[in-house]
Amino acid sequence: MAGVLKNTAASEACEKLYLNEEFADVHFVFNVDDEGEKVPANKAILAALSPVFKAMFFGSLKEGNEVPIKDADADAFKEFLQFFCLGGVSLTMENIETVVRLADKYDVLEHVNACAVFLKRELTLDNRFWVYQLALALKNEELIKFCEGKIINSPKGVFATDAFKRCDKSTLKRMLELDLVCTEADVFYACLVWAKHACEQDDLDAT
């Protein structure tokens, strides 16, 4: 009769591969023109979780052993790589937008969902509209609904944030379709502030 034993050695071995130069078989390169930082990684570990990395490293058009990264800095990319090796992931608000966009780009849904859990936990009145825009961009319905629930109950606080003033028309339209707990006058004056800022951004006369 076969028995199943808990094996911690496998996870410990995987954790030792995180940013390990000795066992790396690929490097992600940042600031290529300025002899920037090279971040070590392991192709098999990345490909096992990400179909995009699998295609990059084991598909018909294989990437080389150095992959330039243009849409993230080294610190944010290191945070992203934690998901592939570490049992405990440490995220920061400073890098979370880049990390979750990388998770979306490399098609690792469980990583996107983990970032969404982190964002829910860190949601404040000041950042909830920014998180809402990010959720809309990622089409993460669970995070969208969570943010909308918070926005509905305190819209005037959201109207006062820079994120609201800088949002695009589609985000503004989606917010205005919510059943906001405020007066129509509050919404009207908030839209005037948004329109004035939009004019300034486009070098137009705000009047």
In the chain, where the domains are located: 9-122
Q: What pLDDT score was predicted for residue 34?
A: 63
Query: What's at 9, amino acid-wise?
Result: A
DSSP state of 106: T
Closest CA to 54 of 42, 67, 39, 44: 44
Beta bridge partners of 38: 29
User: pTM score, two decimals?
Assistant: 0.88
Closest CA to 190 of 168, 160, 163: 160
Contact 92, 72 (CB under 8 A): no
Q: What pLDDT score was predicted for residue 97?
A: 97
Q: What pLDDT score was predicted for residue 187?
A: 97
Query: Could you read off the pLDDT tens digit of each residue along the chain, which spans 207 residues?
Result: 667 777 777 788 899 999 999 999 999 999 856 667 999 999 999 999 999 999 999 998 788 899 999 999 999 999 999 999 999 999 999 999 999 999 999 999 999 999 999 999 999 999 999 999 999 999 999 999 999 999 999 999 999 999 999 999 999 999 999 999 999 999 999 999 999 999 998 888 877
Q: What pLDDT score was predicted for residue 13?
A: 87
Question: Which architecture, in CATH terms, is 9-122?
Answer: 2-Layer Sandwich (3.30)
* Sheet of strand 66-68, all strands in order from the earlier edge strand to the far edge: 38-41, 26-29, 66-68
| C-beta neighbour count of 98 within 10 angstroms | 17
Q: What pLDDT score was predicted for residue 2?
A: 66
